Amino acid sequence: MIEHLRKYTGMIIFVIALLFVGLAFFGDHGTFGGRGTNDPAYISVDGNAYSVSEFRKKGEASLQLGGGLGLYPYLVTMGALGNPNQEEAAKQLFVNRLLVEQGCEEFGIHPGDAEVTAALKAMPVFQGQDGTFDQAKYNTIATEGIGHYGMTEKDLFELVRDSIATEKLASVIGGGLSSDRQSALESVASRDQQVTIQLARIALSSFQENLKPTDDELKTAWETKKDAYQTERKIKVTYFIAKPTYPEAKKEEPKLPDALTEEDKKKAEKEAADKKAAEDAALAEQKRTVDNELADAVDAFLADLQNSEGKDFDKLAKDNNWELVTTEFFPRSAVPPALSVNLRSTTGAARAAADFLFQLDMSKDLLARCSEALPLNDGAWLIARLDEEEEARTKTFEEAKEDFTKDYIAEHAGEALKKDAGEKAAKIREALGAGKSFADVAKEVGLEPKAHGPFKATDKLEGEADVATLFQAASTVAPGSLADPKFLPDDKKPETALFVFVEKREIVKDPARAERVNQAVTMSGRSLQNAAFDSWLKARLESAKVEMLTK
């Protein structure tokens, strides 16, 4: 356990952890098997071949485990987060871990045992409610939680060790870079100022009202836009949910106490409490036994399913008296209620079971169209088989007409909004140069100005939901000038045009500014360091020879 740790650490930024029991719920089902003949070479990196189980541990399972540990910065650095294709993300993590290991060997980076132990104990996922290390919690995750899916405590150590080594390697590679203190000073000073502005806006709706496109106009535009309008992929599955049957707790009718004295009463209460505790412990143990027996039955089902190459799914389920249900076709946005459940989680950050069902692929063999055992709440397990699918396709014009018409109007209204805002801004600037006030010229061009301030980025303004955007627009504009029109939520799909006239900007005195400048310099340095490491890793990846040996 933790006293025998030989390696590891990690960087914890997020306190929400992903579930551990879902470590292997994606990827090819070649990972059902063990080593030997069922563990063929799967991937080659720079001429070295790695088996299915090695890829799974260092890639697929480690991706989930890293999320469970809260190693999100590490996973981002390794290019394993943000990719909706889980197989590609796992491959990226696997290859990059090998490349980082090579780099660490070159630079002599080998995280020590003490670092690993301290890092694991500091991880929120291994801590109790009092914020200290919880040995029992660690034991559950490091043995039962990950062992059920082919990982060991050593794999846990190796992942955390890699996260420490990666951070150290990044420090070495980007160690010669330093940030510009003057830029940090100017940035902090800009955030510390307060501004006084006049604000006016134009809404997109004022242009939408006048747009009435004909069917011919819509159909002409449709030909160049139609690929963006797709139906949802739909799937049809057969599944069962294996549920444990727990013994019922004993119920005793309340009775009046027989004790006459206060001492006898306390003694009777203690005996009753001890009896209740013993009964609860016995019931909990019985439930654990039931859970273990069900888990064993599920494991046996998966083993037999593999032996039959997926053909005996129905038969094996019926042999276990697990009720089979076959759905109609459904999209991801309308999952049947029975399947609209989250996976079991010890941390509160559980994934939806449907995510795994929609990763199943009809192009693969029958076994690969069967999910792994997905753990649900209350000790239950969900296993499903993909029966049929309707691939996403481009909608017909009639199917997409309502949505396309809205988008067409929004696009053309947005173009008109931006054109009008640019013309109004030019007129306002010309009038300001001639000595007119913003309030007067704004009204002349049809705007309704409103005064705000002085205010800082963190202040609240009546009637304004996004004060930070107003502050940002004004923070670098010379007093007496109009900022460039600001489009919300963005320039591509504007819904509002903002006109921000800056009356005054002034720096607020703050004795803590120097410390914030120091922090900004440090953060900027880390950003440069990370950029250097990213470039190094990208170059290594481009020069690496990676080949998939199993399709």
The reported pLDDT for the residue numbered 404 is 97
The reported pLDDT for the residue numbered 252 is 66
Whether residues 494 and 535 fall in one domain: no
The reported pLDDT for the residue numbered 348 is 59
Is 333 within a domain? yes
Q: Is the pLDDT of residue 13 over 60?
A: no
Return the minimum-mean-pLDDT range out of 13-17, 209-213, 446-450, 478-482. Answer: 13-17
* C-beta of residue 162 within 8 angstroms of C-beta of residue 96: no
The reported pLDDT for the residue numbered 186 is 66
Q: At what angle do helices 153-173 and 86-107 cross, to 10 degrees?
A: 60
The reported pLDDT for the residue numbered 284 is 82
Whether residues 535 and 436 fall in one domain: no
Q: Is the pLDDT of residue 155 over 80?
A: yes
Whether residues 16 and 152 fall in one domain: yes
* C-beta of residue 545 within 8 angstroms of C-beta of residue 47: yes
More confident residue, 80 or 35: 80
Q: Confidence class of residue 287 from pLDDT cuts 50, 70 and 90?
A: confident
pTM: 0.54
Q: Residue 514 CB: number of other CB atoms within 10 A?
A: 11
Is 519 within a domain? no
> How many structural domains are present in the chain?
3
CA-CA distance, 226 to 352, in Å (whole number)?
Answer: 31
Query: What's the distance, Cα to Cα, between the start and end of the chain in Å?
Result: 38
Task: Please choose, from the candidates 83, 93, 103, 106, the residue with its C-alpha nearest in 3D space to the C-alpha of residue 43.
Answer: 93
Question: Is residue 370 packed enough to be buried (19+ CB in 10 Å), middle (13-18) or exposed (0-12)?
Answer: buried
Name the range with the highest mean pLDDT among 110-114, 367-371, 404-408.
404-408
Amino acid identity at 386? L
Q: Confidence class of residue 256 from pLDDT cuts 50, 70 and 90?
A: low
The reported pLDDT for the residue numbered 470 is 94
Is 74 within a domain? yes
Whether residues 192 and 169 fall in one domain: no
> What value, to the nearest 5°, has the Cα angle with vertex 324 and ends 320 and 330?
150
Q: Is the pLDDT of residue 27 over 50?
A: no
Task: Please choose, from the candidates 228, 230, 208, 207, the residue with its C-alpha nearest in 3D space to the C-alpha of residue 406.
Answer: 208
Q: Is the pLDDT of residue 48 over 80?
A: yes
Q: Which tokens sit at 289?
A: 């036994």
Structural domain of residue 418, as residue ranges? Answer: 186-229+397-507
Residue 337, preceding peptide bond in cis (omega within 30° of 0): no
Q: Confidence class of residue 14 from pLDDT cuts 50, 70 and 90?
A: very low
Whether residues 424 and 386 fall in one domain: no
For the segment 304-345, what is each residue's pLDDT rounded down to a tens digit? 999 999 999 999 999 999 999 999 999 999 999 999 999 987
The reported pLDDT for the residue numbered 260 is 66
Whether residues 147 and 190 fall in one domain: no
Q: Is the pLDDT of residue 447 over 60?
A: yes
CA dihedral sign, ordered 482, 483, 486, 491: positive
Whether residues 274 and 415 fall in one domain: no
Q: Confidence class of residue 151 from pLDDT cuts 50, 70 and 90?
A: confident
Which of the listed residues 346, 366, 390 is the one where a domain comes to its end?
Answer: 390
Q: Residue 94 CB: number of other CB atoms within 10 A?
A: 25
Q: Is the pLDDT of residue 523 over 80?
A: no
Whether residues 286 and 191 fall in one domain: no
Share of the chain above pLDDT 90, in %: 56
Q: Which tokens sit at 112?
A: 């020590």
Return the minimum-mean-pLDDT range out of 162-176, 319-333, 378-392. Answer: 162-176
Whether residues 373 and 448 fall in one domain: no
The beta strand positions in 142-287, using DSSP E, are 193-203, 234-242
Amino acid identity at 143? T
Beta-bridged to residue 196, according to DSSP, are 504
Is 179 within a domain? no
For the segment 75-128, what is each residue's pLDDT rounded down to a tens digit? 999 988 877 788 888 899 999 999 999 999 999 999 998 898 889 999 999 998
Question: Is residue 402 packed enough to be buried (19+ CB in 10 Å), middle (13-18) or exposed (0-12)?
Answer: exposed
Whether residues 267 and 374 fall in one domain: yes
* C-beta of residue 120 within 8 angstroms of C-beta of residue 8: yes
Is 515 within a domain? no
DSSP 337: G
Whether residues 154 and 15 fall in one domain: yes
Whether residues 28 and 147 fall in one domain: yes
Which of the listed residues 368, 390, 412 is the one where a domain comes to its end?
Answer: 390
Is 373 within a domain? yes
CA-CA distance, 543 to 103, in Å (whole number)?
Answer: 14
